[in-house]
Amino acid sequence: MASKLQQERRAEFKRYKEDVAKEGKPFFPYAILHDTIMSLVVVAVIIGLAVIWKYTNQGTDVGVLGPLSTAKADPGTTNFVPRPDWFFYFLFYLLRIFKWPETVVLGTVGVPTLLLVLLIGLPFFDRRPERAILRRPVAFVAAILVVISMGVLTWKGATAKEALGSETVSLVPKWANEQGFADNKVAVAGATLFAESGCLNCHTYLGTGSSNLGAPNLSDEGAKGRGIAWQVAHLKNPSSKTPGSPMPSFAALGDENLTKIATFLEASKGPQK
């Protein structure tokens, strides 16, 4: 014995079928024409993208749609930052949000599974027969939130910065120019060490590096007046100079290298230009 709601639904479907039979139009040619036009647009866009991809990649310049391919797979490399396909960027960024070891499985499996369960179960959570979006406030708000959050996560995933040692080293001349220490050889050497030693995995500097773990920006570190001795002592034992700091010790680099890095940091007083 069907409930009243179920009877209503069945009656509505019956009316729907009658309306379509009486007032509807044949699929061919009315609806299929629109489908065909849209399909043509889709094929044109695909071909257009393929053509642009090829023709912006002539010579050695990388085109606006990315290179035709990267180097052949090297399973032993220590010089590459993995990235998924763009439609996985929202999941990729979730991994950066869940950055504590105990929460890793939440970001990799927990949240996506929960979202999928909600998505599949939607017809069973939402049983009201109402179709008009403005009369479905919960659905409306939920949809807006989902679109915004997935959009933000995808965009943040796309723009997430990772510091690849080999790439950041090539930025040293630019830094020397902007900060004005190009004539200070010790500072330049220190900048190279700074780029090679993984500092930018946690810190940001003049627009590169990662701020995911909450480490401070070092672009104007020199303006804080801490002095080279303080910097060297800090690098050897960070928590002795900034209590509670999770930064590991860099003592293994040796005093000479640490002094170079300290000189570089003290010469970084913020962009001169």
Q: Which of residues 217-246 bind other proteins (CB under 8 A)?
A: 246
Q: Which of 63, 111, 156, 165 binds other proteins (CB under 8 A)?
A: 165
Residue 163: other Cβ atoms inside 10 A: 20
Is 219 within 8 Å of 205 (Cβ atoms)?
yes
The CB-of-156 to other proteins minimum distance in angstroms stands at: 13
Q: Which stretch binds other proteins (CB under 8 A): 90-98, 179-187, 217-225, 265-273?
A: 90-98
Q: Which of 58, 60, 69, 170 binds other proteins (CB under 8 A)?
A: 69
Residue 251: other Cβ atoms inside 10 A: 12
CA distances from 191 to 161, 212, 256 (A): 19, 22, 14
The CB-of-220 to other proteins minimum distance in angstroms stands at: 22
Q: What is the DSSP letter of 270?
A: S
Q: Say whether residue 163 binds other proteins (CB under 8 A).
A: yes
| Residue ranges in 37-56 that form contacts with other proteins under rule CB under 8 A | 37-39, 41-43, 45-47, 49-51, 53-54
**What is the enclosing helix (H) or strand (E) of 112?**
helix 111-120
> CA 143, 149, 153, 155 torsion: positive or negative?
positive
Is 248 within 8 Å of 175 (Cβ atoms)?
no
205 has which bridge partners?
208
For residue 29, cis peptide bond before it (omega within 30 degrees of 0): yes
Of the pair 182, 247, the CB lying nearest other proteins is at: 247
Per-residue binding string, other proteins, 99-138, x by CB under 8 A, is xxxxxxx--xx------x--xx-xxx-xxxxxxxxxxx--
Q: Which of 71, 137, 170, 183 binds other proteins (CB under 8 A)?
A: 71
Of the pair 235, 267, the CB lying nearest other proteins is at: 235
Q: Which of 7, 27, 227, 270 binds other proteins (CB under 8 A)?
A: 27
